[in-house]
Amino acid sequence: MSTPLRHKLRQIAAEEMAQDAAHDLAHLDRVWLTCVDIAQTLPVDTVPLMAAAYLHDLVNLPKDAPNRAQASALSARAAQPHLRALGLSSAQIAQACHAITAHSFSAGIEPESDTARILRDADRLDALGAIGIARSFAVSGQLGRSFYDPQDPFATTRDPDDTLFALDHWPIKLLRLPDGMLTDRGRAIAQERVLRMRDFLAHFASEIGAPPPTHWS
């Protein structure tokens, strides 16, 4: 979907968002396309939804930043003057900013509208499936973390620690994301994408000579 509003929102993000391999314009495009998919099942105003999809990472703090939990609120605050300049109504701005604030996993804010629920599901879905696998290793590489623990790749005899190993982030967070989906469509997509991740894990285990992680639910 190509519209003048989408072009303007994309331009704002390109100029102001600190981009990395996992949080770039391509990520925003994917989130928006997933929002469109989910929104077909729910009656929402697509204008604030599009605004939230493209500006939800306007303030993109590193995953290990001490104030990481504040990133979504800072993004919402930074988005407000842009949304006013783009001519959104006060109600649309409020919808978009709430969705941006509530999308974050680390912020722990409960979405209170379908717009917010759609954005949260769409953003989390981008952490799953084939693209989720790529993003998880990209982020871990940026943070200097190893792919896995050679002594215990799938944390069979130790507690997972995703500050050290990329794969440990899977049981801690990624494989649990489907349970937290807030829309029926989001849940269905999540379950499909997790199957791809489990298939990857089986191949990964085979290539490093380890048994697959059957204990990762």
Q: Which residue is associated with the tokens 């919808």? A: 95
Topology of the domain comprising 129-207: Hypothetical protein af1432 (1.10.3210)
Q: Which residue is associated with the tokens 């994301």? A: 177
Handedness of CA 9, 15, 21, 26 (dihedral sign): positive
The half-sphere exposure of 100 on its side-chain side, counting CA atoms within 13 A, is: 31
Handedness of CA 157, 106, 182, 136 (dihedral sign): negative
Ranges of each domain in the chain: 4-109, 129-207
Per-residue pLDDT of the chain (217 residues; tens, 9 = 90+): 558 999 999 999 999 998 888 899 999 999 999 999 999 989 999 999 999 999 999 998 777 667 777 888 999 999 999 999 999 999 999 999 999 999 987 767 899 999 999 999 999 999 999 999 999 999 999 899 999 999 999 999 999 999 999 999 999 999 999 999 999 999 999 999 999 999 999 999 999 999 999 888 6
Q: What is the pLDDT of residue 108?
A: 78
Torsion of CA 51, 53, 58, 61, to 10 degrees: 160
Where does residue 170 rank: exposed (0-12), middle (13-18), buried (19+ CB within 10 A)? buried
| Helix 46-55 vs helix 90-102: crossing angle, to nearest 10 | 40
Selected from 3.30.70, 3.40.50, 1.10.3470, 1.10.472, the CATH number assigned to the domain covering 4-109 reads 1.10.472
Asked, colleague to colleague, whether 4-109 and 129-207 share their fold, the answer is: no
Amino acid letter, 202: A
Q: Which residue is associated with the tokens 């997933």? A: 34
Task: Count Cβ neighbours within 10 Å for each residue of 19-50 and write b for 16 or more, e otherwise.
Answer: bbebbbeebbebbbebbbbbbeeeebbbbbbb
Residue closest to 70 by CA, chosen among 121, 106, 43: 106
Residue closest to 30 by CA, chosen among 155, 119, 141, 162: 119
pTM value surpassing 0.85: yes
Number of H helices, E strands in the chain: 9, 0
